[in-house]
Amino acid sequence: MIILGLVFVFQFGISWSCLAINRSKQTDVINASWWVMSNQTRDELERSFDCCGLFNLTTLYQQDYAFCTAVCKSRRPTCQMCGEKFLKHSEEALKILGGVGLFFSFTEILGVWLAMRFRNQKDPRANPSAFL
């Protein structure tokens, strides 16, 4: 019962943080992780999301765009920025994760309540003269 209560608190907090994170914080996380990635990982992301560069905020965007290997670059003169696609994808994922987490955290509270309610209930089939 205590462990389930602790799991509830942890899961409830994570769920609310998934739902409460705003667009600017998501942008900060995506921006920080983009510059930590290797060039090979960036190329794979650009090809799989069909986009070039992260955000058009720095001069490094021009370098990213020059080395981009996405298919969209050959089809049209400008490609969509990967940052916008990542933000859209992360918003959807965070909403789903937060909602599912909240649902299961409230079912855990139901489990805690049922455990408290029925923990000392006697078995009606047990021998009443037996100790315990």
Q: What is the pLDDT of residues 61-77, one digit of tens each?
A: 666 677 777 787 777 77
Maximum C-alpha span of the chain: 87
Residue 20 lies in a domain: yes
Q: What is the pLDDT of residues 6-53, one digit of tens each?
A: 998 999 999 999 999 988 899 888 888 888 888 888 888 888 888 887
Distance (Å, whole) CA 64 – CA 56 = 10
Residue 22 lies in a domain: yes
Could you tell me the residue range of the domain that residue 17 belongs to? 1-119
Residue 71 lies in a domain: yes
Q: How many domains does the chain have?
A: 1
Q: What is the pLDDT of residues 100-113, one digit of tens each?
A: 999 999 888 888 88
Residue 125 lies in a domain: no
Give the pLDDT band (50/70/90) at residue 54. Answer: confident
Residue 80 lies in a domain: yes
What does the pLDDT read at residue 57?
A: 61
Residue 16 lies in a domain: yes
Give percent helix, percent strand, percent coil of the chain, each to the nearest 5: 70, 0, 30
Residue 131 lies in a domain: no
